[in-house]
Amino acid sequence: MISLESLPPKVMILDTTLRDGEQTPGVALSCEDKVRIAEALSDLGVDVIEAGFPITSKGEMLAVKRIAGLGLNSRVCGLARCRKEDIDAAVDCGLDYVHAFIATSDIHMKHKLKMEPEQVKAKAIESVEYAKSHGLTVEFSCEDATRTRLEFLKEMHIAVQEAGADKINMPDTVGTMSPPAMEYLVKEIMPVMKVPLSLHSHDDLGLAVANSLAGVRCGASQVHVCVNGLGERAGNAALEEVVIGLLAFYGIRTNIDTRKIGYVSKLVSRVTGFMVPDNKAVVGNNAFAHESGIHVHGMLKDPSTYEAFSPELVGMQRSIVVGKHTGAHSVKEKLQEYGVEVGDEVVNKVVEHVKKLAESGKHVDDAELVALAYHLVGMDKKAPRRIQLREFAVFTGINITPTAVVALEMDGEVHRGSQIGIGPVDAALNAIRSVLKDKVSLEEYRLAAITGGSDALCEVSVKIKFDGGTKVASVGKSVGSDIVNTSVDATIEAIDRLYARKKQLERE
Residue type for position 378: G
Distance of CA 452 to the CA centre of its chain: 28
What minimum distance in Å lies between the beta carbon of 238 and ligand KIV? 15
Distance of CA 74 to the CA centre of its chain: 18
Beta carbons within 10 angstroms of residue 386's beta carbon: 15
Pair type for strands 12-15 and 137-143: unpaired
Q: Which does 354 bind (CB under 5 to 8 A by kind): ligand KIV, Zn ion, none?
A: none
CB closer to ligand KIV out of 202 and 332: 202
Q: Which does 143 bind (CB under 5 to 8 A by kind): ligand KIV, Zn ion, none?
A: ligand KIV
CA 336 vs CA 271, 293, 501, 502: distances in Å = 34, 16, 12, 14
CB closer to ligand KIV out of 146 and 491: 146
**Per-position DSSP letters for 105-169, written without gaps between them:** SHHHIIIII---HHHHHHHHHHHHHHHHHTT-EEEEEEETGGGS-HHHHHHHHHHHHHTT-SEEE
What minimum distance in Å lies between the beta carbon of 172 and ligand KIV? 7
What minimum distance in Å lies between the beta carbon of 88 and Zn ion? 23
Q: Which does 290 bind (CB under 5 to 8 A by kind): ligand KIV, Zn ion, none?
A: none
Q: Which does 403 bind (CB under 5 to 8 A by kind): Zn ion, ligand KIV, none?
A: none
Whether 232 contacts 243, CB under 8 Å: no
Pair type for strands 167-172 and 197-201: parallel
What minimum distance in Å lies between the beta carbon of 61 and Zn ion? 20
What minimum distance in Å lies between the beta carbon of 225 and ligand KIV? 12
CB closer to ligand KIV out of 171 and 327: 171
Q: Which does 141 bind (CB under 5 to 8 A by kind): Zn ion, ligand KIV, none?
A: ligand KIV
Chain residue whose CB lies nearest Zn ion? 20
Stretch that binds Zn ion, among 18-26, 269-277, 434-442, 456-464 (CB under 5 A): 18-26
Query: Could you give the CA distance from residue 367 to residue 476 in angstroms, rounded to a whole number?
Result: 6
- Tell whether residue 20 is a contact of Zn ion (CB under 5 A): yes
Q: Which does 319 bind (CB under 5 to 8 A by kind): Zn ion, ligand KIV, none?
A: none
CB closer to ligand KIV out of 237 and 261: 237
- Reference 228, options 200, 254, 262; nearest CA is 262
Contact set for Zn ion, span 25-54 (CB under 5 A): none
What minimum distance in Å lies between the beta carbon of 40 and ligand KIV? 22
What minimum distance in Å lies between the beta carbon of 99 and ligand KIV? 7
Q: Which does 495 bind (CB under 5 to 8 A by kind): ligand KIV, Zn ion, none?
A: none
CB closer to ligand KIV out of 172 and 489: 172
Whether 375 contacts 390, CB under 8 Å: no
CB closer to Zn ion out of 41 and 145: 145
What minimum distance in Å lies between the beta carbon of 12 and ligand KIV? 16
Beta carbons within 10 angstroms of residue 247's beta carbon: 17
- Reference 316, options 260, 257, 244, 378; nearest CA is 260
Q: DSSP character for 192?
A: G
Q: Which does 101 bind (CB under 5 to 8 A by kind): ligand KIV, Zn ion, none?
A: ligand KIV
What minimum distance in Å lies between the beta carbon of 200 and ligand KIV? 5
71-103: b (≥16 Cβ within 10 Å) or e: ebebbbbbbbbbbeebbbbbbebebebbbbbbb
**Per-position DSSP letters for 43-56, written without gaps between them:** HHT-SEEEEE-GGG
- Write the interaction track for Zn ion spanning residues 207-246; mark x where CB under 5 A is met and - where it is not: ----------------------------------------
- Reference 422, options 407, 406, 400; nearest CA is 400
What minimum distance in Å lies between the beta carbon of 135 and ligand KIV? 22
Query: Could you give the CA distance from residue 439 to residue 435 in angstroms, rounded to a whole number?
Result: 9
Total residues in contact with Zn ion, by rule CB under 5 A: 1
What minimum distance in Å lies between the beta carbon of 35 and ligand KIV? 22
What is the binding site for ligand KIV (CB under 6 A)? Answer: 20, 79, 101, 141, 143, 171, 173, 200, 202
Query: Could you give the CA distance from residue 101 to residue 165 in angstroms, rounded to a whole number?
Result: 11
Query: Could you give the CA distance from residue 65 to residue 76 in angstroms, rounded to a whole number?
Result: 10
The residues, any chain, with a CB within 8 Å of residue 407's CB and separated by 6 or more, are: 389, 390, 391, 392, 414, 415, 416, 435
Q: Which does 285 bind (CB under 5 to 8 A by kind): Zn ion, ligand KIV, none?
A: none
CB closer to Zn ion out of 232 and 489: 232
**Per-position DSSP letters for 472-498, written without gaps between them:** -EEEEEEEES-HHHHHHHHHHHHHHHH
CB closer to ligand KIV out of 107 and 456: 107
- Tell whether residue 143 is a contact of Zn ion (CB under 5 A): no
- Reported for 298-306, long-range contacts at CB under 8 A and 24+ positions apart, including other chains, are 300/329, 300/333
CB closer to Zn ion out of 141 and 285: 141
Q: Which does 291 bind (CB under 5 to 8 A by kind): ligand KIV, Zn ion, none?
A: none
The footprint of Zn ion (CB under 5 A) covers: 20
